[in-house]
Structure 1
Amino acid sequence: MNRNQREAAARRIMERTPPPVPPELYAEVVRRGGRMLRRRTAAVRLMWLLLFAATVSFVVWALMARPWVEPPSETTPPLTGW
């Protein structure tokens, strides 16, 4: 089957009327969709909460550790000229 034949077959399939959907399927689809939406909303909220917590913890660490300040020297320079 070459490309033109495949395209023609795909067009024939898409031009047909879709099969009827059973009416009892609608309630199940709505239930699953609502559950997926709630899970996605909860995941997004959890992601934002974790991002906020990481930002706050980084800011607190930076204020306490002050990594931009040069640490004090551990040894004293030699005393000369006494």
Structure 2
Amino acid sequence: MLYNLSDYLFARTTGYIGSLMDLVSRAAARAIRTGSERIDQALLDRIPIDAAAEAAFKDTRATIAYYRKTGRLPPELRA
């Protein structure tokens, strides 16, 4: 289910609803076309989305992982 992938989806789309809708729509279409009828992270990893979201993915994912581990933002993001 997609709710199990909330951190991944946020990191992948950098929180932009347009990027999220594009990703989920493309994944659903591919899942139907291939007959798997299942959206999982492996499928989502193969779906390209907008360049800005793709470029920010690794940094956003690292920030989320740091926050989950420490409960704080990374030092470079603290004001």
Q: Same fold (TM over 0.5)?
A: no
Higher RCO by CA contacts (8 Å cutoff, separation 6 or greater): 2
TM-score by length of 2: 0.26
**Which structure: greater helix fraction?**
2
User: Which is higher, the Rg of structure 1 or of structure 2?
Assistant: 1
TM-score by length of 1: 0.26
